[in-house]
Amino acid sequence: MAKRTFSPSRAMRRFGFRQTIRGALIIGVLSGLMMGAQGAAYAAAYPNQKDRDAFVTSLSSVPALGFMAGEAKNALLPASYSIYKSIALTTLLAAIWGLMTTTRLLRGQEEDGRLEPILAGRTTKMAASLHILIGYGYSFVIAIVISWAAIAALGLDPQVDLSIGHAGLLSLGVFLPGLFFASLGVLTSQLALTRGRALAYGLGVLLFLFTLRGAANSITDWNGWKHFSPFGWTDLLNPVLDPQLIWILPTLAFTIIVIPLALFFAKQRDLGESVLPESQFARSHFYLLGSDFGYSIRQNIWPFIWWTLGAIAYAGLLSSIAKVGADALSSSPAFVKIVSTLGGNHDDIVISFLGLGGMFTALILLVMSAVSIGSIRRQEAKGYLDTILVQPIHRSAWLTKRLIILAVMVLAISLIASYTIWQIAENTGVSLDLWIILQNGTTLVGSVLLLIGAGALLYGVLPRLAAIVMYVAIVWGFVVDVLKSFLTLDDSIDKTSLLHYATFTPTKTPDWETFTWLLGIGIFLAALGVWRFAKRDIVNE
């Protein structure tokens, strides 16, 4: 039997695939569930076209809702409703995943010194980058296929009537921004000297283009600006009601131009260098480096700022349009029911709108917690934790301090967002009790602390799966919350959602008993996770 020769190209493709397949599976399942699970519920809530037309008319009267939603016309049919409801969020997730993945694969591997032994052979930097990206391409296609399969399967319901072809276009529309920003990440990985800077360059562009698309959807006179955003191209693709396949071309053209250009830059520059001139010597800053606890705080300062700004933006947007939205949509009983269920108040639609701000704050905090546990795991996987544990520092103390910092961040952001809701409500003529709102902001973190405790336990037992399971729990909670706004769910199903235990209504005194139980269980699970982490071996990549 002939001996199989070693192929560096095959090894690079396999490396790129193995490094990205887990993320592809997660994003594929998440997007498939979020886009596919809403059609049947919408059909049950709006069984006839007359009700749907009235609903769309109500939505169109409040264009500001389009900042975090699709075009109102997509709510005309159950098959396309998910485009209105979730397209903004799913395309944003796909875009962030694409950007973070390619910067990690290229500049991240180079920064960690892992490309040096590869390039010591006959493989060039350009060839290595190309084959790693091909491996990632396999994962990217698998993510699209998984999403397509989930959307198509959930769309088979006769009340939804979503064809397999339209499901495929819908899934493609979700991932087109992911392809765009994955390509941009390849380019910024050549422009910047570190992965952090490469990611920052890409995120700046991403946030600008996402905001541009949101503004174009919210302000009628600006609608044409979505022609210049990859997120807007998904809207213009209109994959279910009236597919316009030409809007696939801008993303393909960008990819075809940018990736070869980036690979050319990779060929021209030296290993460890960047296209943009940057000094390899930085002025030393030693603040908060006197202890491991101070170092952990230093690592979380900027994430805290960015997550706080995100929570304020979401809570502020929904609070600022509460009165206008309530007046415009009050003529739609079905919509009033949805908002009342999600916002936690069935007596006052304005208060329910304000409650939506609290719900989005909870979702942001849940995602932040999963990202933070993933960051803790990344420190271990990359070997950075080794340099800390060689000091006289106990493992259990290190993890406990990280979890305490995370819990404080969650509480601070929740209170800041609650105060923002109160301040905007007061400015728009809605009188609320600040003390009750701050109490709600405090108890809101109960579900988040429960998730953090579960994540800590998983980190202590199965570190590679901790963040993944947390993301699954968040998506499940989101899906259950959406379904219960349309359908009457069994109480046992409703209680499986983390959002079930939070009080969003800014006029309702929170349930401190439930909060105490959530806090106690979360602390218990976290303590088990810390204990188990101190007993297990360090698990590198």
pLDDT in single tens digits along all 541 residues of the chain? 455 565 778 888 898 899 899 889 989 988 888 888 778 777 777 778 887 887 777 777 666 666 777 787 888 888 888 888 888 888 988 999 999 999 998 888 887 777 777 766 677 788 888 989 999 999 999 999 999 999 998 888 888 888 899 999 999 999 999 999 999 999 999 998 888 888 889 988 998 999 889 888 877 777 888 899 999 999 899 898 889 999 999 999 999 999 999 999 888 887 777 787 766 566 777 777 778 788 888 888 888 888 888 888 877 777 776 666 666 555 556 566 666 666 555 566 677 777 777 777 888 899 889 989 988 988 888 777 878 877 788 888 889 999 999 999 999 999 998 888 888 888 777 777 888 888 888 888 899 999 999 999 999 998 888 888 888 888 888 777 766 766 666 777 778 888 877 777 777 788 888 899 999 999 999 999 999 998 888 877 6
Q: Which residues contact 201 (CB under 8 A, 6 or more apart)?
A: 188, 191, 192
- Give 37's DSSP letter: S
Q: Please, how many CA atoms are within 13 Å of residue 509, restricted to the half-sphere of its CB?
A: 2
CB–CB of 183/140 below 8 Å? no
CB–CB of 385/516 below 8 Å? no
The confidence score (pLDDT) of residue 520 equals: 94
Q: Which residues of 381-416 are buried (b: 16+ CB within 10 A; e: fewer)?
A: beeebeeeeeeeeebbebbbbbbebbbebbbebbbb
Q: How many residues does the chain have?
A: 541
Q: Which residues contact 472 (CB under 8 A, 6 or more apart)?
A: 26, 29
Angle (CA) 322 323 324, round 5°: 95
Q: Which residues contact 191 (CB under 8 A, 6 or more apart)?
A: 198, 201, 265, 274, 275, 276
CB–CB of 445/411 below 8 Å? yes
Closest by CA to 86, choosing from 448, 363, 346, 332, is: 363
Kindly state the helix (H) or strand (E) to which residue 244 belongs, with its residue range.
none
Tokens of 76: 């005309």
Closest by CA to 192, choosing from 205, 180, 209, is: 205
pTM of the model: 0.81
The confidence score (pLDDT) of residue 485 equals: 66
Query: Distance between CA atoms of 262 and 398, rounded to whole angstroms?
Result: 40
The confidence score (pLDDT) of residue 1 equals: 46
The confidence score (pLDDT) of residue 347 equals: 61
- Give me the helices (H) in 219-348, please: 230-237, 249-268, 292-320, 322-329, 333-343
